[in-house]
Structure 1
Amino acid sequence: MNRTTPASLLLISALLVACAHPKPSTVTVLLDRVLPTPVLMLGEQHDAPEHQVLQREVVQLLAAQGKLAALIMEMVEQGHDTLDLPRDANEARVREALAWSERGGWPWPTYGPVVMAAVRNGVPVIGGNLPRARMRDAMGNGALDDLVGEGVLRRQRDGIRDSHCGLLPEGQITPMTRIQLARDQALAQTVAKAVTPGKTVLLVAGNGHVRRDLGVPLHLPSSLAHKVVMAQAGAAADSDAPPADTVWVTPALPPRDHCTELRQRLKH
């Protein structure tokens, strides 16, 4: 006959407690660091699949708690949303409502699960990006240079130059920088318009757009509280504090020669 010892009773008790109180998910821990807030900016590296998984989980958790006011996406242009769609709308209707285009490098299989998580929970998905039709006007709009300080403007220009591996003609740096500023401004305006008391507006965009020192936060009303989470694949290249409230670190991506890839594209 088997006998239950005091030690085994303690072990069984501990296991039961663990089952009754499961360890919080890492997404829950992350949100505990930044909530409550009327605006949560969630940055990503576009080619890191774990980052879109994080976005979907954040959408699902906030929606389940009734705290998600809207999902604003860089991947969709202003003027497009799912406000008139029912929760059971199929993906084709959702893509049509959002005028989803993969020309900008936004594959639906990658971002569709994030979008549909919001739709299925009755949360509106709203486009926040500058419409392509307005980019030419932005390139010639010198007033955009005055939206930020000279130091920020210089760093934005350096970022455009470096991200294009020094392959852009110098005369294109200022116009391209103005597009970046106009996109940040458009995202900020969309976010501010969607703010709902007692809930959180979630912005999903590239890390360059959400960073506190250069991006969307500089274009929000000064009275609008917000938090920034940057998702980062692999260890940071430098030891400087990241321009965010917290950083979500995921496994490093395989190395890629982006500059060689860009040279090949520019040849065509």
Structure 2
Amino acid sequence: MVIKQRILQSFLSTLVIFCLLFIQGCIKPAIHQVTSDPHQKLRQPGMIYSTQSGLSISYTKLLNELTTSRFILVGEKHDNPHHHQLELMLLQDLQNKSHTRVVLEMLDEQQTSNLDELTPRNKTEEIKDILNWNDRSWPWDDYGPLISSALANGNQIAAGNLSKPLLMQIYKHSLPEEARFETVKAVPETIQAAILQQVYDSHCQAIPLTQMEPMAQIQISRDASMAFAMNHQLPANAQSILFAGAFHARKDSGVPLHLKMLSEEKSSTLLLIEIEEEETQDRGLSEEDKKLADYIWFTPRSEKKDYCASLRQQSH
């Protein structure tokens, strides 16, 4: 009986790590539906919405506004190819050689030394090999172009994520005493509770809520790590850009929360949100939605996939 319990616990540990590595970036944050402005079509693929002005803006205006920010956070749905195309376009239009730092959720601290070995002369497949890239978790075709572009332009490239051994350590209630985790304990209890519920809901409520606290701690620790990577020793004239799952980029509970503790300089969050064709109609966004990001860019949905079905099957 004891052996069976240990096997089950080991399986659940592996499952939650898989979930936190991938699932949350595939489930879009809720965008509430209101009809405050029946004359403005806000939900159309390709539309960029400024939550501050309450209006749709052009791509050129978005770029102009983003250039005034010290920190830019782009939240994606990991398996949407439209998002990867837009991210590459954004990077190529914003990057400014060594004055740009590109932080990726898809890289962890174990790959930092590998990053130091890269040069602009490396070809795409060489970069992949040098980084010991995990193609199963993060398809190289999705993220290789980002890294290649950053490298070719002379950008700084930084790892934002935590390695699997470190994730397991945190899961077992042992947060390392490192500078990048200093903001973890400063997260207000109300936000911790919201993140706990967010993690529970985003994992389809397939795992008991009582087992979610370590996972919520991992979520908060990953956000802290990415914020630290964006800010740590960033040159005074440089801009830092993060590419991560949408939940990490949320202003109300993700990386921006930790950035505020680390720096008083301006940050801007852009969420890439996919919509169904039937959602393309006259409707606005609620005040609650506006707390999620500074900009929302609506995109086509890549495919219909029931993530909860597979997750529930694995948890039984």
Residue aligned with 1:167, SS: coil
Q: Could you tell me which of 265, 270, 273 is aligned with 1:229?
A: 270
Please report how far the alpha carbon of residue 40 of structure 1 lies from its aligned counterpart in structure 2 after TM superposition: 0.7
Please report how far the alpha carbon of residue 113 of structure 1 lies from its aligned counterpart in structure 2 after TM superposition: 1.2
Are 1:83 and 1:124, in contact at CA under 8 Å, matched by a contact in 2?
no
- What amino acid is aligned across from residue 72 of structure 1 in structure 2? V
Q: Give the number of aligned pairs.
A: 241
* Gap regions ≥5 residues in structure 2: 1-56
- What amino acid is aligned across from residue 215 of structure 2 in structure 1? M
Normalised to the residue count of structure 1, the TM-score between the two structures is 0.80
Q: Distance in 2 between matches of 1:193 and 1:97?
A: 24
Q: Could you tell me which of 60, 75, 78 is aligned with 1:43?
A: 75
CA shift digits 1:210-236 (9 cap, x unpaired):
111100111121423211111111159
Please report how far the alpha carbon of residue 126 of structure 1 lies from its aligned counterpart in structure 2 after TM superposition: 1.6
Q: Which position in structure 2 is the counterpart of 1:173?
A: 212
Q: Could you tell me which of 123, 126, 129 is aligned with 1:90?
A: 123
Q: Which position in structure 2 is the counterpart of 1:153?
A: 192
Q: Tell me how large the CA RMSD over aligned residues is.
A: 2.6
Please report how far the alpha carbon of residue 196 of structure 1 lies from its aligned counterpart in structure 2 after TM superposition: 2.4
Residue aligned with 1:71, SS: strand
Q: Which position in structure 2 is the counterpart of 1:130?
A: 162
Bigger Cα Rg: 1
Q: Which position in structure 1 is the counterpart of 2:313?
A: 264
* Gap regions ≥5 residues in structure 1: 1-24
Q: Distance in 1 between matches of 2:166 and 2:87?
A: 28
Q: 1:84 to 1:237 in 2, by over 3 A?
A: farther
Q: Distance in 1 between matches of 2:228 and 2:131?
A: 18
Q: Distance in 2 between matches of 1:67 and 1:32?
A: 20
Q: Could you tell me which of 130, 138, 161 is aligned with 1:106?
A: 138
Please report how far the alpha carbon of residue 265 of structure 1 lies from its aligned counterpart in structure 2 after TM superposition: 3.6
Residue aligned with 2:75, SS: strand
Q: 1:246 to 1:119 in 2, by over 3 A?
A: same
CA shift digits 1:24-78 (9 cap, x unpaired):
x954332123222221111111121111111111121123x54752211001102
Q: Distance in 1 between matches of 2:149 and 2:111?
A: 17
Q: 1:194 to 1:78 in 2, by over 3 A?
A: farther
Equivalent residues in 2 for 1:175-194, closer than 5 Å: 175-193=214-232
Q: Which position in structure 2 is the counterpart of 1:34?
A: 66
Are 2:170 and 2:214, in contact at CA under 8 Å, matched by a contact in 1?
yes
Percent same amino acid at aligned positions? 29
Normalised to the residue count of structure 2, the TM-score between the two structures is 0.69
Which structure's relative contact order is higher, taking Cα pairs within 8 Å and 6+ residues apart? 2
CA shift digits 1:236-262 (9 cap, x unpaired):
997333311111111134432221122
Q: Does 1:217 align with 2:256?
A: yes
Q: Could you tell me which of 237, 241, 258 is aligned with 2:289?
A: 241
Question: Which region of structure 1 is more displaced relative to structure 2, 117-126 or 44-53?
Answer: 117-126
- What amino acid is aligned across from residue 132 of structure 1 in structure 2? K
Please report how far the alpha carbon of residue 110 of structure 1 lies from its aligned counterpart in structure 2 after TM superposition: 1.2
* Ranges of 4+ aligned residues in structure 1 off by more than 4 Å: 65-68, 142-145, 235-238
